[in-house]
Structure 1
Amino acid sequence: MENTKVLVYNKSETTFSFLIDTLKDSIKSWDYFVDWKKVKNNIRDIEIELNILNYLIGKENIKEELTYLLNKHPEVIKAFPYLLASRENKFKILSLDKNDKFDYKIFDFNKKHFDSKDIENIITFIENTQLINIFMDKNIKSLVDYVFGVEVGLDSNGRKNRSGTAMENIVEHFIQRICSKNNYQYIKQATVTKIKEKWNFNVTVDKLERRFDFAINTGSKLFLIETNYYSGGGSKLKATAGEYKTLFDLLEHDGHEFIWITDGKGWLTAKRPLEETFNHNRYILNLKMIELGVLENILKDCK
């Protein structure tokens, strides 16, 4: 197989070398960084309460003012976990009492009505978490702007998930085009039940919760596709390679085709298990191969 002239897939050392040599070191796209829509929606859910809490910024006696605010607008309580970058709204805090015995104190930010004891607990909470300093230090002018920054930071935790779905999204771009061009049908996140109901194919799987990234029906043949991307090494790569050997055997026995689409420089640390599966299975592709039309040719040739 040679560079941009690669159109036909065959089982050879040359093909495997091409697979390894054209692995991508990144599949980040522009939506990798921040899901702005999600951030804005999360802010909108709490914006009114945050604006009410702005009343406390710069006040001299925060405890008295907070007591007044909680009595007048008890709904603001649900905003406090956001100020701590937490998705939880009920906290069980472990502490030691005066006799060095462990004790738990419950702080519930779901409550809608408070008595004096509840308000005392809330004040204890904001003092010990040092939330009280946000209001007293006068460094923050708007809690809405502050939580917007918090949400952007929290959303960075979703980058791993976005990297996981990025591979699926790229592959789906090609699958959509191929299916539209050739009048094929496909299902995303295809379960055995969905495949049976839509196309009446019986599929044997290795585990009950198996959900294929894609299933393609060419009209005469069913193709099941799994995709993944590994930027780094680890034991999971070897385990996945072994898992997909077993899956290939099951699907071949059913008369279906299994295509594994994988990429990422992580495979440079696990070339042997990848090569073993390459030699065992019928099709293992990377993104460069799809770009060069290999997937479309496979679907056409196996009709």
Structure 2
Amino acid sequence: MKTLYAVEHFEKFIDTLNLKGILQYDYFVNWAKVLNNIEPIEKELNLLNTAVGKENIEELLFNIFKEYPKTIKALPALLAIRDKSVNILIDKTNYIHKHFNFKQKKFSDSDIDSLVDFVMKSGLGELIKNKQIKSLPDYCTGVEVGLDSNGRKNRGGTQMEQLVESFVAILCHEHELEYLAQANAKKIKETWNIELQVDKSSRIIDFVIYRKQDSKLFFIEVNFYSGGGSKLKSTATEYIEMSRFWKNQDVEFIWVTDGKGWSNTQNPLKDYFERGNLLINIDMLQNGYLEKIIL
């Protein structure tokens, strides 16, 4: 394993960084999630759609809300919010708020008037009236796609984990090793009866490999950085301490990371490596470096 700590190893790591990314087709939109969010309010959206292009939209909305109060639950989705109630600041001078609850059980005429006023003042009502929104179900699908784009960062991390797990699973299958994904100390204790001290009760390890012939544990943390920023430095600093903490319990810590973000942020990575910590990238996974560490 000595070669894994040599200067040449770090140089190879930098030279073989994945600069193209690991995006897969399912990275862009989680369509199942989008459609699942639309399905429970699809009927309500179609009812509200009858108001599109109508001049007397406020009267129509009042009648729809009154006759079909369940349509009110569709308003947050149309306004791209996940909350089921909101507080609107209606008087900035006196700091007065008005509360809107879209899921209350009963709505009085006064409540419905306020909700119609809410739709109009939010700007949504005018868009519906002027047919700038021609189909509320289609519009809502677009809103959900936009909200789902916030999950791309997590999907990028998940795709890196899936990629690494493919190597971990094959390695363990071929060499009679065992592994857990997303494991904490409690799960490790339940699975292999190994007691570990933890620095954080909520600490989750991306992958834990168990070499049963000598009861040796290997912890693997995984990430991919397509861009730079302070996060890279803070992660490297965190993993220096994490590696030290696990080594004190005879657990080998392996950091699998990649991405062009490291091209211009090498110093934190080098600091981690020069302290005798294990570091590999995707190219190294493909070339058997995980086997060199564990077997």
TM-score above 0.5? yes
Note if contact 2:220-2:253 (Cα within 8 Å) is conserved in structure 1. yes
The answer (yes or no) to whether the contact 2:52–2:134 under 8 Å persists in 1 is: yes
For residue 74 of structure 1, the aligned residue among 66, 69, 72 is 69
Q: Is the aligned partner of 1:236 residue 2:231?
A: yes
Task: Kindly indicate whether residue 267 of structure 2 is the aligned counterpart of residue 272 of structure 1.
Answer: yes
Fraction of identical pairs, as percent: 46
Equivalent position SS for 1:187: strand
Query: Greater CA deviation, 25-34 or 247-256?
Result: 247-256
Is residue 128–residue 134 contact of structure 2 (8 Å, CA) maintained in 1? no
1:179 is displaced (CA, Å) by: 1.4
Shift of residue 41, structure 1, vs aligned partner: 0.6
Equivalent residues of 2:220, 2:256 under 8 A apart: yes
Aligned counterpart for 2:157 among listed residues 138, 157, 164: 164
Alignment of 1:143-162 (within 5 A): 143-162=136-155
Counterpart residue number, 2:194: 201
Aligned to 1:118: 111
TM (norm. structure 1) is 0.91
Deviation at 1:8, TM superposition (A): 9.3
2:162 equivalent to 1:185 = no
- In 2, Cα distance between equivalents of 1:235 and 1:59: 51
Q: Structure 2 matches for 1:72-151, cutoff 5 A? A: 72-96=67-91, 100-151=93-144
Matched, 1:32 2:27: yes
Aligned mates of 1:63, 1:276 — CA distance in 2: 64
Q: Give yes or no for contact 2:66–2:109 (8 Å, CA) kept in 1.
A: no
Residues 184-231 of structure 1: CA deviation (Å, up to 9, x unaligned): 211111101111111012223333321110101121321111111222
Distance 2:128 2:43 in 1: 17
Partner in structure 1 of residue 17 of structure 2? 23
Which of 208, 212, 217 lines up with 1:215 in the alignment?
208
Pair 1:282–1:132, CA change in 2 (3 A): closer
Which range is displaced more, 45-54 or 137-146?
Answer: 137-146
Matched pairs, number: 292
Q: Gaps (5+ residues) in structure 1?
A: 1-6
Instruction: Tell me if 1:292 matches 2:265.
Output: no
Structure 2, unaligned runs of 5 or more: none
Give 3-state SS (helix, strand or coil) of 1:59's partner.
coil
What is residue 4 of structure 1 aligned with on the other side?
A: none
Residue 55 (structure 1) aligned to one of 50, 54, 57: 50
Would the aligned equivalents of 1:202 and 1:254 in 2 still touch at CA under 8 Å?
no
Moved more, 284-293 or 59-68: 59-68
Q: Could you state the TM-score of these two structures normalised by the residue count of structure 2? A: 0.93
Alignment of 1:247-286 (within 5 A): 247-286=242-281
Q: How far does residue 125 in structure 1 lie from its aligned partner after superposition?
A: 0.2
**Counterpart contact for 1:90–1:106, Cα < 8 Å:** yes
> Structure 1 residues 292, 67: CA separation in 2 closer, same or farther (over 3 Å shift)?
same
Query: Aligned Cα RMSD in Å?
Result: 1.8
Q: How far apart are the structure 1 equivalents of 2:58 and 2:109?
A: 12
CA deviations on 1:85-129 (whole Å, 9 max, x unpaired) are 1111211111327xx322111111112322121011011101110
Q: What amino acid does structure 2 have at the position aligned with 1:249?
A: R
What is the identity, as a one-letter code, of the residue corresponding to 1:250?
Answer: F
Alignment check: 8 A CA contact 1:204 1:250 kept:
no
| Letter matched to residue 197 of structure 2 | T
Indicate conservation of the 8 Å contact 1:205/1:247, yes or no: no
